[in-house]
Chains A and B, each alone.
Chain A
Amino acid sequence: AQSVAQPEDQVNVAEGNPLTVKCTYSVSGNPYLFWYVQYPNRGLQFLLKYITGDNLVKGSYGFEAEFNKSQTSFHLKKPSALVSDSALYFCAGLFMTTDSWGKLQFGAGTQVVVTP
C-alpha cells in the first residue's frame, strides 16, 4: 500500500542546533512528497514539495528537505532551529488513484519542540 511514515512522535532540539524530522515513503512509481507545518490552533501550512529534479528541495522559513530514493526517505531539515519552529510537522505523499485524480495522504505528524 502507498503510504508515508513519520517514525518519531516528537523531536526535541535546542535553539541554534540542527533540526531533522524524518519521513519515509512507500509508493509505486514516482513519488510526489510534501512537508506541511501546523502551529497551535491553526490550519496546516505548505512548506515545500518534491516532484522531480534536484534531490535537495528548499522551502519556506529556511527549511529544506532531501529526497533519497535508495532509502525511500524525505527528511525535513533546518540548519539552525528557532523556538518559533516549535510546531507539528506533517509529511505527505500524493498517491495516484486509478482515475489519476490522486489523493494527498499525511503521515501521523511529528511534534517539534525547540528549547531556548
Chain B
Amino acid sequence: DSGVTQTPKHLITATGQRVTLRCSPRSGDLSVYWYQQSLDQGLQFLIQYYNGEERAKGNILERFSAQQFPDLHSELNLSSLELGDSALYFCASSLRTGALNTGELFFGEGSRLTVL
C-alpha cells in the first residue's frame, strides 16, 4: 500500500459528460502529480501541484483541469469527455518538488475511466 488513495477506482460515463477524480496523497506529502496511462499514449504526465500551487504542466488538455486543496487532496476534472479520454488516471505524491525533487513518487492504484 503506497498510502495514496484514489477514488473512484472505476468510472463509466458517456461522451460529453464531466467527471471528477479525487486523490488523497500520503500523509505529509506536499506534491501531487497526475498521470494518464493509455495503450496508445503510454504514461503521460498531466500536471503537478505543490502545497496548493500549480508547479508543472505536461500534456494536459484544455478540457481538463485540476486543483490541490488546503488539506492537500487533489481533484482532476475532465469535461466534454471524448472516447479517447478512456484511460487509467494515476495520482502520485511526494514530499517535495523542485530542484531538490528526488523523483521518488508514490502512486495510487488509479482510476479507470471508460467513456462510451
Contacts and interface: CB of A to CB of B under 8 A. Distances in A.
A41 B109 CA distance: 7
B69 to A, nearest CB: 20
B3 to A, nearest CB: 11
A48 B35 CA distance: 20
Interface in A23-40: 32, 34, 36
B70 interface: no
Interface in B55-95: 55-56, 58, 90, 92
Nearest to B94: A104
B101 interface: yes
A78 B58 CA distance: 32
B12 interface: no
A73 to B, nearest CB: 18
> Which residue among A100, A101, A109 has the maximum number of chain B CB atoms within 10 Å of its CB?
A101
Interface in B1-36: 2, 4, 33, 35
A90 B90 CA distance: 14
Given A106-B42, A106-B43, A49 B104 contact: yes
Interface residues of B, number: 27
Contacts of A105: 45, 58
A103 B54 CA distance: 12
A2 interface: no
Contact of B103 (A44, A90, A104, A109): A104
A45 B90 CA distance: 12
Nearest to B6: A43
A74 to B, nearest CB: 12
B107 A45 contact: yes
Contacts of A109: 42-43
B4 A43 contact: yes
B101 A102 contact: yes
Contacts of A103: 45, 48, 56, 58
Contacts of A34: 103-104
A67 B78 CA distance: 39
B107 to A, nearest CB: 3
Cβ-closest 3 pairs across A and B: A43-B107, A100-B99, A94-B103
